[in-house]
Each structure stands twice: as C-alpha cells, then as structure tokens.
C-alpha cells in the first residue's frame, strides 16, 4: 500500500511538471497571434457577406468596390485561411488562401493564394484596404474587371470586357463540343465546361500566371490537374480572344472541342501520358466529324513529308513547348493527331480510347506506351513508329 501511495504522489508531481511545461512553452498569445486571429475573424465575416451578396456587410470589413466585379459569379462557397500576418504599427499585410467553388461546376474548392493589405480603423478593428493575387500567383477573372456570366446547356462562360452576345457565341461552341466529346470518349465525365474569356492576350496570361509571350498565337488552353480525382475543381478553358478572332467558324469549333476533350480525359491523363497522345487525341476528337482531310488539317506536316522530311520519331514533350517556333509546334500537334488518326482507322476508335486509358493507368512514363501498344494494339514501339511514318507518306505525300 505504501508503495502504491508513493507512486501516486510521484505521478501528481509529474503531471504538475507537464502542465507547467505546457504553460511555459505556450505562454500567452503573442501580438502576432492576436493580429492573425483578428484578421481571420474579419475575413470570415467578409466571406459570409460575399456569399450573402451583402455589399453593406462587406463594406464593414473593408473596401467593397471590387464586389461588383465578382457579384455575377454563382458561388457555392467562399472562404479565407490566413497563413501569415506581417504587422507594422497600424497596418498589416496578410497572406491567405482563398477557397471558392462555382455553383454547379466545381465539386471541390479552387484554392488560390492572395495578399491582403489591412489597416486599423478608428475603433481599432482591422479593415481590408485591398486584395490581390499573391506574388507569382495567377489572377482570378474578377481581378481584371466586372465579370459577365452566360449559361449554355452544357457550359458556363465568364467574360470580362465582352458583350453578352459574344459570350453566348462561346457557349454555343461549348454546347456543341460537349456531346461531340462524349460521343468519342464516353459519358463518364462531368459533361459540362467552364470557359473564361478575358479581354485580351494579356488577360489570358494573367489568369495563367505567365508572360503573354508564352501564349501568343495560342487560341485557348485548359487548366487542371492531370490524374485528378473525381472530387476535384472543374477545369477551366481559358480563351485567348486575340488569337481566337483570327480563326474561322470551323477553327473555333475545333479549338473548343479540343479543349473540352482535355476536360473529359483529365482523370485518365497522368504523368505516364505523353503529350503526343493527349494533344493528338484532343485534335482527333476536334477534327473527327469535320470532314477535313489530312492535308487540310496538317499543312505543316504535309509540307515536310512532301519535301522528304518525314519525322524520325513521335514528338517528345519538349517539342510541345510554347517557347519554340510556331512551325515546330504545329508539326508536333499534327504528328500526334496523325498517330491517333491511324490508330482509329487501323484498329478502331474503341481501341484508340482503350489505348489512351491504358497508358494513363500507369503511374510513371517509363514503359507505359510500350506496354499499352503491346497489350491493346498487339504491336511494339518500333513497328508502330514505322507504320506511322508510312501512314504519313500515304496520307500526306
């Protein structure tokens, strides 16, 4: 009994020491901790006001002028997570993550890095003076001006600096693209798309967080995580209105169908998928029902083959870099398209889809194409390449 009482006494001492240690380590909240908690509280109020479409409530937390820019966007969620507060007297800069979802399109929140400038008001409460993308983070469309929203049957188009009529033309293109892609790929995808139409090439670059020179001449791109799970934010098709304006009616439709294909195939596109396959397949779907011949749809490759310059190999990922020459980039896209077109013609459209999925099922690039060629098409890379080269001569020479 005495031994048990002694053990109990020691246990009490240990507990007291632990408690003392925790208090000493944690201590009272620092000024920085308090500021961060206060800023988080203000941003929580601000987020609620945004979702409630309550401009007066937003104004109580800081500047509300920008709300007109985002007010038309249908939001399912909007929240901030403060990651750091840098205070200097009565002013501060907060680093935060903005999480938001577009109603009916995003199955999970989009997360973007933001920087907020704050100051203390007369009541010693933090006031949001401004909000902008964090350094090196992409802009959101409402950072560029007031967003106009139009809805299609299978699409939502958000634009800045364009008429409702023009935005409806993009919705019409997207609404034709979605069923065309489903007919080729299947229906196990969201079957709707979000299209962003900034005012200019510079606006497109801002949304992508890259220099405008990287996308000059590129009509559209699709953002999204390859191999993304089902619970992931919707991809965004981002249009370059400057380049788009140079396209004819057919070209515009091919581009939107191409980009919509990327949305549909995203979950099956992984690190194992080479760009010649992902871009070639998207072009194959884009041109599938247009009636365009190889020489019409692949003019650069046709000229090269006619001149005796048949590619020695399928294009590498590096060949698709936007920083290269326009001719080289065109050759890469056209080469990938012709490879996919050959598979669809010689094996079948179903085999092309199976081949795409088989490659993407691998976690790593090494051996993925070779295994899919063997398992799905009963061939090897050397034979396939030789047959593709002969197919180019046959179709383009």
pLDDT (0 to 100) of residue 7: 40
Residue 9, pLDDT > 70, answer: no
Q: Is the Cβ–Cβ distance between 359 and 366 less than 8 Å?
A: no
pLDDT value of residue 231 = 62
Mean pLDDT of the chain: 90
**What confidence tens digit (pLDDT) does each residue in 196-235 have?**
999 999 999 999 999 998 888 899 999 976 665 666 677 9
| pLDDT > 80? residue 35 | yes
This prediction's pTM: 0.88
- What lies within 8 Å, CB to CB, of 76 at 6+ separation is 101, 102, 103, 104, 106
Q: Provide, rounded to the nearest whole percent, the portion of the chain with pLDDT above 90.
A: 80
Ranking 3-17, 49-63, 119-133, 319-333 by mean pLDDT, the lowest is 3-17
Give which of 127, 154, 131 is closest to 78, Cα–Cα.
Answer: 131
Least confident of 6-20, 173-187, 252-266: 6-20
Torsion-angle region of 377 (φ positive above 0: left; ψ -120 to 50: alpha; else: beta): alpha
State phi, psi for 266 to the nearest 5 degrees.
-55, -45
| The pLDDT value given to residue 1 | 43
11 pLDDT above the threshold of 80: no
What local confidence, expressed as pLDDT, does residue 107 receive? 87
Q: Tell me how far apart the alpha carbons of residues 171 and 156 are, in angstroms, rounded to a whole number.
A: 7
Instruction: Please tell me the predicted confidence (pLDDT) of residue 51.
Output: 97
pLDDT of residue 197: 98
Domain spanning 31-137: which CATH class is it, in words? alpha beta
| Span 48-69, average pLDDT | 95
Report, as an integer, the average pLDDT of 55-73: 95
Q: Which of 137, 156, 130, 173 shows the shortest CA–CA distance to 72?
A: 156
pLDDT of 288-346, one tens digit each? Answer: 999 999 999 999 999 999 999 999 999 999 999 876 678 899 999 999 999 999 999 99
**Helix-, strand-, coil-residue percentages of the chain, each rounded to 5:** 50, 15, 30
Q: Which fold has domain 139-251?
A: Zincin-like (3.30.2010)
For residue 25, what pLDDT band results from cuts at 50, 70 and 90?
Answer: very low
Question: Residue 115's beta-bridge partner residues?
Answer: 95, 132
Q: What is the pLDDT of residues 127-161, one digit of tens each?
A: 999 999 999 999 999 999 999 999 999 999 999 99
Mapped onto helix, strand or coil, the DSSP state of residue 14 is helix
Where in the chain do CATH 3.30.2010 domains reside?
139-251
Q: What is the mean pLDDT of residues 182-187?
A: 98
| R_g over Cα of the chain | 27
Separation of alpha carbons 101 and 232, rounded Å: 10
For residues 307 and 107, the model is more confident at 307
Q: Which residue intervals of the chain bear CATH 3.10.450.50?
A: 31-137
Q: What pLDDT is attached to residue 179? A: 98
Give pLDDT, residue 372.
98
Q: How far is 344 from 355, CA to CA, in rounded Å?
A: 10
């Amino acid at each position: 009994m005495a031994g048990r009482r002694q053990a109990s006494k020691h246990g009490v001492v240990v507990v007291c020491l632990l408690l003392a240690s925790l208090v000493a380590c944690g201590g009272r909240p620092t000024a920085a901790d308090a500021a961060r908690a206060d800023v988080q509280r203000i941003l929580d109020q601000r987020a609620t006001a945004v979702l409630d479409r309550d401009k007066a409530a937003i104004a109580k937390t800081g500047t509300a002028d920008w709300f007109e820019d985002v007010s038309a966007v249908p939001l399912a969620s909007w929240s901030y997570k403060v990651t750091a507060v840098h205070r200097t007297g009565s002013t501060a800069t907060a680093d935060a993550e903005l999480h938001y979802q577009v109603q009916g399109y995003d199955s999970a929140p989009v997360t973007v890095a933001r920087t907020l400038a704050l100051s203390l008001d007369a009541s010693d409460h933090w006031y949001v003076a401004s909000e902008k993308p964090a350094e090196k983070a992409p802009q959101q469309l409402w950072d560029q001006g007031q967003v106009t929203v139009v809805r299609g049957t299978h699409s939502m188009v958000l634009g800045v600096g364009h008429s409702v009529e023009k935005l409806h033309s993009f919705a019409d293109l997207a609404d034709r693209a979605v069923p065309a892609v489903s007919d080729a790929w299947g229906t196990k995808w969201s079957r709707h798309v979000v299209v962003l139409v900034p005012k200019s090439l510079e606006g497109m670059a801002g949304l992508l967080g890259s220099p405008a020179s990287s996308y000059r001449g590129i009509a559209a791109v699709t953002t999204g995580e390859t191999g993304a799970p089902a619970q992931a934010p919707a991809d965004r098709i981002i249009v370059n209105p400057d380049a788009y304006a140079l396209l004819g009616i057919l070209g515009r439709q091919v581009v939107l169908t191409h980009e919509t294909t990327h949305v549909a195939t995203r979950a099956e596109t992984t690190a194992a998928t080479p760009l010649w396959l992902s871009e070639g397949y998207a072009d194959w779907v884009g041109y599938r029902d247009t009636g365009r011949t190889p020489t019409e749809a692949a003019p650069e490759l046709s000229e090269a083959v006619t001149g005796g310059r048949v590619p020695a190999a399928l294009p590498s990922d590096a060949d698709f870099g936007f920083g290269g020459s326009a001719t080289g980039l065109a050759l890469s896209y056209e080469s990938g398209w012709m490879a996919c077109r050959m598979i669809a013609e010689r094996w079948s459209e179903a085999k092309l889809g199976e081949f795409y999925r088989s490659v993407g099922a691998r976690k790593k690039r090494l051996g993925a194409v070779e295994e899919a060629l063997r398992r799905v098409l009963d061939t090897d890379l050397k034979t396939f390449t030789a047959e593709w080269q002969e197919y180019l001569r046959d179709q383009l020479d």
